[in-house]
Structure 1
Amino acid sequence: MADSKLKHEQIQYIEFLSKDITRAKEFYTQCFDWKFTDYGPEYTSFTGDYVDGGFTYGDPVNGTVLVVLYSEDIEATKNKVINSGGTIVKDIFDFPGGKRFQFTDLDGYELAVWSL
């Protein structure tokens, strides 16, 4: 992922559920020429011109796309979420690309924040 795409606290990554990740990869490669990197049988990430994201195995349901924001300071962003009334649903954890946490906003929408 190019560092030029990293903008502090902006939407930067989107995750989708798919019952057939291979089929999803074929579709989005043909439609948008997205490039994929597999991380086991139940997760693949994609890179596009202006957005990156991933597909994880699961039954798609309207409203299940996970919006992921980038943060230069994940602890400070987490504190802003808490102080604004958000609820942390997955505390900061490590993953192959860095660190991440997930929260719900005041309407119950779940989002994530990641950092290098």
Structure 2
Amino acid sequence: MANPFVHVELMTTDVAKAKEFYNGLFDWQLEDIPKMDYTLIKVGEGTGGGMMKTVQPDLPSHWIAYVQVEDAAAATEKARKLGATICKEVTQISGGWFSVITDPTGATLGIWQMNPAACQKPAA
């Protein structure tokens, strides 16, 4: 697997203001998912993403990129052994599993493993 960047996410202190800004700046389609308190960013071609309110009030707004892996748990453990700080342990959501790490230089990165069952369409 080539480990491509597959998702970018804005963690913001003000979702409404961010939505207004990015909606005016780019031709993105923003789709709210109320039950997740999340907004999908559909960019047309290329890597899409999402935005949500930051869960840590002392952190400024920031973007985080996610890299696809075959096994999120194995990649997270490998990152730990290579000196990363694990900010968010592997967590399952509807589409797969993710974790968030900070590398030894202080850069934060998301790790994403797709759930193949989430991609399958039901038989007609």
Give the TM-score taking structure 1 as reference length. 0.73
Partner of 1:57: 53
Partner of 1:100: 98
In the TM superposition, what is the alpha-carbon distance from 1:8 to its structure 2 partner? 4.0
In the TM superposition, what is the alpha-carbon distance from 1:107 to its structure 2 partner? 1.7
Alignment equivalent of 2:38, drawn from 25, 40, 43:
43
In the TM superposition, what is the alpha-carbon distance from 1:27 to its structure 2 partner? 4.1
The Cα RMSD (Å) is 2.5
Give the letter aligned to residue 47 of structure 1. Answer: K
5+ long unaligned stretches in structure 2: 115-124
Greater Rg over alpha carbons, structure: 2
User: Where does 1:13-52 land on structure 2 (aligned, <5 Å)?
Assistant: 13-40=7-34, 42-48=37-43, 49-52=45-48
- Partners of 1:30 and 1:68 in 2: how far apart? 25
Classify 1:61/1:20 alpha carbon distance in 2 versus 1 (closer, same or farther; 3 Å): closer
- Partners of 2:41 and 2:67 in 1: how far apart? 16
Matched pairs, number: 109
Contact 1:73/1:115 (8 A) holds in 2: yes
Partner of 1:4: none
SS at match of 2:22: helix
Work out which structure has the larger RCO, using CA pairs closer than 8 Å and 6 or more positions apart in sequence: 1
In the TM superposition, what is the alpha-carbon distance from 1:35 to its structure 2 partner? 2.3
